[in-house]
Amino acid sequence: MKTVAQLTVPQLEALIENVIERKMIELLGDPDAGLELKPGVKTKLRRSLAAVERGERGIPAREVATELGLNG
């Protein structure tokens, strides 16, 4: 294992980010812990993952926003 002095700046930054993230989760907890996804969301996620695996692009953000009623 490297010492801190042997780390590059990007490696040190990644290490610090990781430690901060773990500590924040420890202190604040995961706000989504214990929550269940609605069946429709699970279905959409499965379709999206399958499309990505087939090499297709994801759903455009505008389309998602429209489906969720987030436009204007």
Task: Return the half-sphere exposure (C-beta side, CA atoms, 13 A cut-off) of residue 60.
Answer: 3
> Can you tell me the distance from the alpha carbon of 19 to that of 57, in angstroms, rounded to the nearest whole number?
33
Predicted confidence (pLDDT) per residue in 32-49, tens digit? 888 999 999 999 999 988
- When divided into structural domains, the chain yields a total of 2
Predicted confidence (pLDDT) per residue in 18-30, tens digit? 999 999 888 888 7
The domain containing residue 4 runs over which residues? 1-33
Instruction: Check whether residue 47 and residue 29 sit in a common domain.
Output: no
Co-location of 24 and 50 in the same domain: no
Q: Is the pLDDT of residue 58 over 80?
A: no
pTM of the model: 0.40
Place of tokens 């990644």: 14
Residues 42 and 68 in one domain: yes
Rounded-to-integer distance, Cα 65 and Cα 58, Å: 13
Q: Does residue 17 sit in the same domain as residue 40?
A: no
Output the pLDDT for position 56: 83
